[in-house]
Amino acid sequence: MKVCLDTNVFITIKNKEEDFESCIKILNAIEEKRIEGSVSTIVLAEVLVGFYIKNEKNEANRFLSSAILNFDVVPVNLDITQMAAQIRVQYGIKLPDAIITASSINSNSDYFITYNKT
């Protein structure tokens, strides 16, 4: 089984928000290779912004190293770009969210895990 994670999964853990324990279980399953994980480069950038705002460069480097080691990192390519534009128009979501959704589809993930309310 392959899951693609949204930015808010990582933010939920970092901020110890509601459901952060569930998010940790998902990450543990990926790290232990019980499930396969994928993540868009947009997700990585969004999470890194949070670290850089707080000047947490060491944590940012650890996060990025762990992501590269444990996830199929999906770069934005022309197929994803075209699909994201179509998703944005059809569903009216923000472009970064459309790119992340298109990346999940492009990576052949079985599930897309997000904590977005809409």
Model pLDDT for residues 62-84, shown as the tens digit of each residue: 999 999 999 999 999 999 999 99
Q: Hunting for tokens 């459309």 — which residue is that?
A: 98
Residue 30: Cβ-neighbour burial (10 angstroms; 0-12, 13-18, 19+): buried
Taking the model in full, what pTM does it have? Answer: 0.94
Q: By C-alpha distance, which of 71, 83, 79, 81 is closest to 109?
A: 71
Q: What angle do CA 23, 8, 108 make, to 5 degrees?
A: 80
19-60 pLDDT, tens digit each: 899 999 999 999 999 999 999 999 999 999 999 999 999 999
